Amino acid sequence: MAKYDYDIGILGGGAAGLTVSSGAAQFGAKTLLIEKEKELGGDCLHFGCVPSKTFIRTANVYHIIKSAEKYGLPRVDLKPVDYREVAKRIRAVIGVIQEYDSKERFCKLGARVEFGNASFIDEHTVRLNGKKYSAKSWVIATGSSPAIPPIEGINKTSYITNKEIFSLSNLPKSMIAIGGGPISSELAQAFNRLGTKVTVIELGDQILGVEDKDMADSLMNILISEGITFYLGSSVLGVRDLGNEKEVVIKNSRGDTLSLRAEIILVAAGRQANLKGLGIEDISLECDKKGLKVDGRLRTNHKHIFAAGDVTGAYQFTHAAGYEGGIVLSNAILHLPREVDYTNFPWCTYTDPELASIGMNEKRAAAAGIQYSVWTEEFKANDRSLAEGAEAGKIKLLLNENEKPIGIQILGPRAGELVSEWVAIMNGKVKLSTIASAVHPYPTLGEINKKVLGNFFSGKIFSEKVKKALKFFFNLKGRACM
């Protein structure tokens, strides 16, 4: 008789847990997936990527219609937004994807799905709805939740997070966002475009703290030009419920105390790992302040218990959760020791323009003591950007001492798509000269990837040395216009 009920048990039916479950079941492992909520899909499907990108699209369409005159069209006088209709569209998109992330589909793949709150009772066994389930290996993929900072008055004041924001019954007239990270920046712009007066409070001296300041500042200036107010270097001293309005008292960067008011407060001040109620203390699983501690193979201090996705606090993105799910599969099911490698990890903030990155930026290269050079190209020199009326932003390429790419940042239209060429270049270790000489279709935004390399190579190609050699061999006569 088998020692354990299952080959592998997974806690959490989000991006990481679903990747492991579908892979394990398809490899023939007896797989148990346990999800706390009533549906599979996790934060990305229900309160994160999917609703936010659907919402952003709606806001951008509204913004473009409002800007009709910019495109040589007659002005359009739009009715105010009915948020219930916006929320309905969000629910519809979620509904379509939900079918793919359904219990039935996972059952067809061969995984058993159970719903409820599971808790470890020993290193191989959890208790769920009064029953015990044991597995040879376990994967904790329980995700993260909004971190609520210990602000005075926060417990007595109603506020919203990404969990509530996509199902509001009306478009708020005004909103104060606490935190200036990616979630806040995306939502701030989208709400502002739909007609909400938005103010963002950020403790640091820039929004999007992990990005280079020049890129983040350029984006912030665009958001300011659209009407969003930012308080950088500002701390929230307290919040208060005034009935129809909420008060947020801040100390700004000059040390002045200001009282701000808005209809709603959005708390988007970081994330915390979902670890409560799992019984991890009872089996002595080690954590740090980011989440579950794991080694390169994503094993916790109990080598048969893995963790993947937001719960480790590493890169909190859906594609990171999927990638880590694959690493767990390799180690737990295929028994092929594989470690995570985030060297060429890409991400994107879906503001308009988008800000996408892969690998190192200047901040990180400097912190790692890496010598680098920076090469840029502006979107306003890209014909397609001009044609589309989306000429803000630039691409920034970092090369190391050996002139190999170590990172790219793109602030511009569809930057999230444009960065994919760099995913292939950097992972495939493609020579930069190959891309610089490869024909890209005209007119495309993607030409900017080739153009930035042109800027790097042009100094070498059109050098005095080359000119002298050509003059010597072919008797070229030099400038025709002074």
Smallest distance, ligand FAD to C-beta of residue 111, A? 14
- Told to check if 112 binds ligand FAD by CB under 6 A, we report no
By CB under 6 A, name the one of 9, 29, 31, 35 that touches ligand FAD. Answer: 35
- Tell whether the torsion through CA atoms of 214, 220, 225 and 229 is positive or negative: negative
> Can you read off the two tokens belonging to residue 49?
């990527």
Q: How many residues does the chain have?
A: 482
- Told to check if 260 binds ligand FAD by CB under 6 A, we report no
Pick the stretch among 38-46, 194-202, 282-290, 366-374 that binds ligand FAD (CB under 6 A).
38-46
Per-residue binder mask for ligand FAD (CB under 6 A), 184-223, x = binder: ----------------------------------------
Q: What are phi and psi of 436, to 5 degrees?
A: -65, -30
- Told to check if 101 binds ligand FAD by CB under 6 A, we report no
> Can you read off the two tokens belonging to residue 373?
């050079």
Smallest distance, ligand FAD to C-beta of residue 163, A? 8
Catalogue the E-assigned strands of 101-253: 111-115, 119-122, 125-128, 131-140, 144-146, 174-178, 197-201, 229-231, 235-241, 246-251
- Told to check if 44 binds ligand FAD by CB under 6 A, we report yes
Pick the stretch among 9-17, 72-80, 359-367, 436-444 that binds ligand FAD (CB under 6 A).
9-17
- For residue 53, which of 317, 442, 403, 364 has the smallest C-alpha distance? 317
- Told to check if 413 binds ligand FAD by CB under 6 A, we report no
- Distance of alpha carbon 56 from alpha carbon 49, whole angstroms: 10
The answer to whether 43 and 37 are in contact (CB under 8 A) is: no
Catalogue the E-assigned strands of 278-427: 305-307, 346-349, 354-359, 372-378, 394-400, 405-412
Smallest distance, ligand FAD to C-beta of residue 306, A? 12
For residue 190, the SS3 value is: helix
Smallest distance, ligand FAD to C-beta of residue 414, A? 14
Rg of the chain taking only CA atoms, in angstroms: 25
- Told to check if 277 binds ligand FAD by CB under 6 A, we report yes
- Told to check if 409 binds ligand FAD by CB under 6 A, we report no
Per-residue binder mask for ligand FAD (CB under 6 A), 155-174, x = binder: -------x------------
Find the residue with minimal CB distance to ligand FAD. 14
- Distance of alpha carbon 348 from alpha carbon 396, whole angstroms: 14
- For residue 409, which of 346, 352, 459 has the smallest C-alpha distance? 346
Pick the stretch among 59-67, 141-149, 252-260, 376-384 that binds ligand FAD (CB under 6 A).
141-149
By CB under 6 A, name the one of 9, 42, 180, 413 that touches ligand FAD. Answer: 42
- Distance of alpha carbon 232 from alpha carbon 205, whole angstroms: 5
> Can you read off the two tokens belonging to residue 95?
């509904």
Judged by beta carbon, residue 67 or residue 272, the one nearer ligand FAD is 272
- Told to check if 15 binds ligand FAD by CB under 6 A, we report yes
Catalogue the E-assigned strands of 271-319: 271-273, 305-307
- Helix extents (H) in 333-382: 362-367
Helix axes 49-66, 83-100, angle to 10 degrees: 140
- Told to check if 309 binds ligand FAD by CB under 6 A, we report yes
Judged by beta carbon, residue 36 or residue 451, the one nearer ligand FAD is 36
- Told to check if 346 binds ligand FAD by CB under 6 A, we report no
- Distance of alpha carbon 59 from alpha carbon 38, whole angstroms: 30
DSSP secondary-structure letter at 227? Answer: T
Q: Write out the DSSP string of 55-85.
A: HHHHHHHHHHHHTGGGGT-----PPPP-HHH
Pick the stretch among 96-104, 244-252, 290-298, 310-318 that binds ligand FAD (CB under 6 A).
310-318
By CB under 6 A, name the one of 7, 8, 9, 16 that touches ligand FAD. Answer: 16
- Told to check if 14 binds ligand FAD by CB under 6 A, we report yes
- Distance of alpha carbon 242 from alpha carbon 423, whole angstroms: 49
Pick the stretch among 24-32, 139-147, 210-218, 297-305 that binds ligand FAD (CB under 6 A).
139-147
> Can you read off the two tokens belonging to residue 364?
């990180």
Pick the stretch among 309-317, 336-344, 377-385, 427-435 that binds ligand FAD (CB under 6 A).
309-317
Question: By rule CB under 6 A, what count of residues binds ligand FAD?
Answer: 38
- Distance of alpha carbon 89 from alpha carbon 73, whole angstroms: 27
- Told to check if 57 binds ligand FAD by CB under 6 A, we report no
Pick the stretch among 10-18, 206-214, 286-294, 419-427 that binds ligand FAD (CB under 6 A).
10-18
- Told to check if 377 binds ligand FAD by CB under 6 A, we report no
Q: What are phi and psi of 274, to 5 degrees?
A: -85, 95
Pick the stretch among 43-51, 285-293, 367-375, 397-405 that binds ligand FAD (CB under 6 A).
43-51
Binding site for ligand FAD (CB under 6 A): 11-17, 34-37, 42-44, 47-49, 52-53, 117-118, 141-143, 162, 183, 274, 277-278, 309-311, 316-319, 321, 350
